[in-house]
Amino acid sequence: MVIISLQLFSNEWITFGAFIIAIFLLIGIAEFFRSKLKWSPEASRKMVHVIVGLMVSICPLIFSSNIQPMTLAIIFIVLNALTLKSNKFKSMHATERTTYGTVYFPIAFLLLAAFWWEKPITLVLSMLVMTIADTLASLVGEHEKHPLKFRLWDDEKSLQGSAAMFLSTTLIIYVGTDFFAWFFGAAFFIPMEVLIGCAVFTGIAATLAEATSSKGSDNLSVPLVTANAYEIYLINYTHGSLPELWVWTFGSAVIFLIAYKLRSLNGGGTATAFIMGLFIFGAGGVQWITPILAFFILSSIMSKIGKKSAEITQKGSRRDVVQVLANGTVPMIIALVNFYHPFNYAYALFLGAIAAATADTWATEIGYFSKHNPRHILNFKTVEKGSSGGVTLLGFLGSILGAGTIALIGLNWLTDLPIHLIVLAGFVGSLVDSILGGSVQAMFRCAVCNKETERRIHCDMYTHHIRGFKWIDNDGVNFVNTIVGAMIVLL
């Protein structure tokens, strides 16, 4: 219950009108100063980022319902997308690099307002981390004379900027938790050592989210990762499971660093898998992390054994950010939804999604050892090994074996549904993956060697698009595959 309210009018829609006018007024002022004072694109954009971020952070103090904040977010999603395309409002969008951060920003706020409105402290802290810590990280990185630069995805970062991100996030969480607990009248007490641990845990997650970004995606990932890390830590504290969470945190760091050294993951894939593991373990413990960890380890081994199959694919056996997200996002969402709002058959849906990802990977890698070339699943013509849409009998057996392995791993905890349902979900998901891969997935032809490939660059040359939708690649198909696996269980 809020003990301090900043609401100006009794009618919240009038307050909403005044609020949005204030935002546009401040953006207009920023645009004026940008043009008159000849500010750099990055400086004006950061000023608007901070102004708007601070304003929306206090929405829980201004509005009793999340309808107005969500409406505000939707308006700015549309407005920012349109002005970004038309190159208007340069104080918001002008930048020295390609970024969609101004669109990601309101999307993040929309999701926070939709799902964390009843947890105002979490919402406010998450927005402040994105507004203040993310901006400080950028400023430190830009003004450091000798930055130690690195790139985990598309955006270039610096170690100095990441250090600023971690320290400022940790401070915001540590100071902000007690302050906003008083501000919102929350009746709870957190011991100092727990609060420090929460601040450090959240700081680690938020820093990795900021470091692993593409074209401003950290404006979306940072607040969502911050909110989930903060809630997961505090709820595990109330459940008495913080020791297990910290054991997994350090243990998984070792596991994924080994995977990086063995070239099963690149830098961005390592950071993404680590965060995903924190959330899944924090949401469900050993029961939930075991199947997806088994998928990762066993599939990595399979990919190494059958690594020649990667010659035709867009990416090799070293998984990157998008590949990790394609296979793990749906299971992670199921785990988090069940964590906040437990529901029947959640674990079965979780296993179905992982079984589908495993079945698809094993079908490709085991099928590569078939004595005969695969046949296209739709027209039955012979295709090269590793081609999307190509299937073999050995690949079908590999698919069933992969799905069955996940089903057996989950057998100790799966008591409400038969095991063969998980196998079926994995197999059908793999079939759908092959159908989509052979129909809508983009394929290209190399002008140098004349081979068909999923790669947009082959033989150091851009390839020619020959079929499928240009914007659908193997990662998109894999993402749909996990959705199908979960949906088969649900149906």
- The answer to whether the CB of 205 falls within 8 A of the CB of 169 is no
What is the band of 6 on the pLDDT scale with cuts at 50, 70, 90?
Answer: low
pLDDT at 322: 93
Give the C-alpha separation, 46 to 138, whole Å: 9
Does residue 312 have a pLDDT over 70? no
Torsion angles phi and psi, residue 444, rounded to 5: -130, 165
Measured from the Cβ of residue 237, the count of other Cβ atoms closer than 10 Å reads: 17
What is the band of 369 on the pLDDT scale with cuts at 50, 70, 90?
Answer: confident
pLDDT at 87: 60
Q: Which residues pair with 149 in a beta bridge?
A: 158
| 212 torsion bin: left (phi>0), alpha (psi -120 to 50), beta (else) | beta
What are the angstrom distances between the C-alpha of 121 and each of 184, 200, 279, 295, 338? 8, 17, 19, 36, 21
Averaged pLDDT, 317-331: 91
Number of H helices, E strands in the chain: 19, 9
Give the C-alpha separation, 326 to 319, whole Å: 10
Tell me what the pLDDT averaged over the chain comes to.
87
Q: Considering only CA atoms, which of 287, 280, 244, 296 is closest in space to residue 412?
A: 287
| Tens of pLDDT, residues 117-169 | 999 999 999 999 999 999 999 889 888 888 899 999 989 999 999 999 999 99
CA angle 50, 52, 54 (to 5 degrees): 65
Q: What's the chain's length in residues? A: 491
What is the band of 378 on the pLDDT scale with cuts at 50, 70, 90?
Answer: confident
Q: Which residues of 396-424 are buried (b: 16+ CB within 10 A; e: fewer)?
A: bebbbbbbbbbbebbeebbeebeeebbbb
Query: Encoding tokens for residue 422?
Result: 């998980």
CA angle 116, 208, 313 (to 5 degrees): 105
Does residue 390 have a pLDDT over 90? no
Position of tokens 């950010």? 321
In sequence order, what E strands does 38-136 have?
A: none
